[in-house]
Amino acid sequence: MATLQHSGSGIAASAAATLLDMRQIAKSFGKNRVLRDISLQVAEGEFLTILGESGSGKTTLLRIIAGFETANSGELWMSGERLDRLPPYKRRVNTVFQHYALFPHLTVEENVAYGLRVSRQVETTISSQVEQALARVKMTAYAKAKPSKISGGQQQRVALARALVKRPQLLLLDEPLSALDANLRRQMQVELKSLQREVGISFVFVTHDQEEAMVMSDRIALLRMGELEQVATPREIYRHPATAYTAQFIGHTNLLRVQVSNRIVRCNSLSWTGDLPDGPALLSLRPENIRVASSPGPPALNRVRFRGRLRHQAFQGATELLQIECSDGLIFFVRTSARADWQGELEFEFDPGDGLPVRESAERT
């Protein structure tokens, strides 16, 4: 079951008017239920990311908004108008395709002009708009080139210009950065985000890369096996993951299976006091919330201490991720600042307040 308990906390969603309203969208391909009961709003000027693993249904949802697929049930509304009954070419929605889908037989310029020509605009206004659009993405120099003669990053910019020149109300981007190498990708993330601020158009961005989603989005809608797992701002979703799946998918986490009775929380041999209802619970504790104990001896007030043996150490630049095994078999991931000489048994501590209760993610098939 999808719960949207955090959706109200999205800043953009509550501040601006709703542009796109998806109401209980469901889609199956044969027996395969790809999307179930998706309800989601996109605000004016918002950068919303649909994040999910491959097969989660994110691309299908995007194609339904664009009009390439028809939902089996549910409605799409945009600015108070029913959208899902319109053919793709009548929607004020444009798409940047995953592999750009630039027309190989047309030049860069003709590609950008395409959408204006087919809607029978006057040639003189077309050329000035095309010029502007190409200037905006810094591709003026390549106006006469065929798409096969320019690089992936350049193709990406042309695809953007081609979609933006139509002045859509909503721009859909289907993993547009996935074909680029890491450096170019980071650069394009920044460019895309600032471009979106500049043009003020709502973006719906599909990706499987959680870091990319965190960097760019106003809000993230996390999709899992056809259902929304959580919709919230990047900070919110990281700090307050609603489910175990969210906690694990967005960043690293330690999932602690605990038993609570009379405000005493027990996890294997560890125990502490905490404000949780009685019964079993699942806590998410981020690796960066665990510290190497500063001095041996009794823990500071409200700290939980444990000892463990270093099993693995992954160097990640400024920080490193340690894998610690306790004598009772518990395994913890701990993030510390990079230091080369961790060895043997170590003592750690964490604030039990950082262990956030999360819901078990429902089994789905």
Residue the block writes with tokens 């599909």: 206
Number of helices (H), then strands (E), in the chain: 9, 20
- Which residues contact residue 335 at a Cβ distance below 8 angstroms, ignoring those fewer than 6 apart? 252, 286, 287, 288, 290, 319, 320, 321, 322
88 binds another protein (CB under 8 A): yes
CB of 147 to another protein, least distance (A): 11
CB of 99 to another protein, least distance (A): 7
Q: Which is nearer to another protein, 69 or 288 (CB)?
A: 69
Question: What is the spatial distance between Cα 74 and Cα 349, in angstroms, rounded to a whole number?
Answer: 49
Return the residue of 94, 154, 207, 230 that touches another protein, per CB under 8 A: 94
Question: What is the spatial distance between Cα 65 and Cα 76, in angstroms, rounded to a whole number?
Answer: 8
365 binds another protein (CB under 8 A): no
Helix (H, G, I), strand (E, B) or coil at 296: coil
CB of 207 to another protein, least distance (A): 18
CB of 10 to another protein, least distance (A): 27
Q: Which is nearer to another protein, 12 or 102 (CB)?
A: 102
Return the residue of 136, 146, 166, 240 that touches another protein, per CB under 8 A: 166
CB of 289 to another protein, least distance (A): 44
162 binds another protein (CB under 8 A): yes
163 binds another protein (CB under 8 A): yes
Half-sphere exposure of 162 (CA within 13 A, CB side): 27
Exposure class string for 188-221: b at 16+ Cβ within 10 A, else e? bbebbbebbeeeebbbbbbbbbbebbbebbbbbb
Using a 10 angstrom Cβ sphere, with 0-12 exposed, 13-18 middle and 19 or more buried, the burial of residue 357 is middle
Binding mask 96-115 for another protein (x = CB under 8 A): -xxx-xxxxx--------xx
CB of 165 to another protein, least distance (A): 9
User: Which helix (H) or strand (E) segment is 7 a member of?
Assistant: none
Question: What is the spatial distance between Cα 150 and Cα 101, in angstroms, rounded to a whole number?
Answer: 14
Stretch that binds another protein, among 21-29, 82-90, 238-246, 345-353 (CB under 8 A): 82-90
Q: Which is nearer to another protein, 168 or 234 (CB)?
A: 168
Q: Which is nearer to another protein, 52 or 168 (CB)?
A: 168
- Which residues contact residue 29 at a Cβ distance below 8 angstroms, ignoring those fewer than 6 apart? none
First to last CA, the chain: 13
CB of 119 to another protein, least distance (A): 5
Q: Which is nearer to another protein, 114 or 203 (CB)?
A: 114
Return the residue of 32, 73, 119, 269 that touches another protein, per CB under 8 A: 119
Binding positions for another protein, rule: CB under 8 A: 66-69, 87-90, 93-95, 97-99, 101-105, 114-115, 118-119, 162-163, 166
